[in-house]
Structure 1
Amino acid sequence: MTLPVYTRSQLALRNGQDKPQIWVAYRGNIYDVGKSRLWRDGKHYEHWAGQDLTEELADAPHADDVFKRFDIVGILG
């Protein structure tokens, strides 16, 4: 299955406010985190949905395996 490619601008709209989807990017993949209660309203602690969180994850209290819980919905182009 080929995943769609989204621009940063398209990703930015999937912030739970401009559009109902709550997506974040990490290492080139875009994940749908909308089912997580921790991403309610598109915010997770000091992080906002619709962004690439690759660099920000270095400060997170968890490892990147947290993304295994979420579906990959696209590629960040």
Structure 2
Amino acid sequence: MQEFTLEELKKYNGKNGNPAYIAVNGKVYDVTNNSHWKNGEHHGYEAGNDLTEPLYNKSPHGDKVLSKIKQVGVIKKD
């Protein structure tokens, strides 16, 4: 499993041919080919970021969608 800092995660924003990764609860998921993520964006949120707070506090589906998305890494702990 690859480890990412939050700064490194920003490179994976789904733009200019980069993959689109998001972090939730310290886990990093690849949303590059997810039909709900177009050009690294989904309902105003951008890939390359930790989306834990919006997923749990604003999303109607919560974390149940994560079971369908491939985990590619974890966020490095300081």
- Same structural fold, with TM-score higher than 0.5 when normalized by the shorter chain: yes
Structure 2 partner of 1:60: 59
Change (3 A) 1:69 1:33: same
- When the two chains are superposed, the root-mean-square deviation of aligned CA atoms in Å is 1.1
Note the 1:1-77 alignment, pairs <5 A: 3-17=1-15, 20-57=18-55, 58-77=57-76
Alpha-carbon deviation of 1:54? 0.5
Deviation, 1:18, is 5.2
CA distance in 1, matches of 2:23, 2:16: 17
| One-letter amino acid of the counterpart of residue 33, structure 1 | V
Structure 1: runs of 5 or more not aligned: none
Could you tell me which runs of 5 or more consecutive residues in structure 2 were left unpaired when the two chains were aligned: none
Paired letter, 1:25: A
Structure with the higher helix share, 1 or 2: 1
- Aligned to 2:71, the other structure's residue is in SS state strand
- Distance apart, 1:37 and its partner CA: 1.4
**Percent of pairs with identical residues:** 33
SS of structure 1 residue aligned to 2:50: coil
Structure 1 residue ranges, 4+ long, deviating more than 2 angstroms after superposition: none
Contact 1:22 1:50 in 2 (8 A): yes
Name the count of aligned residue pairs. 75
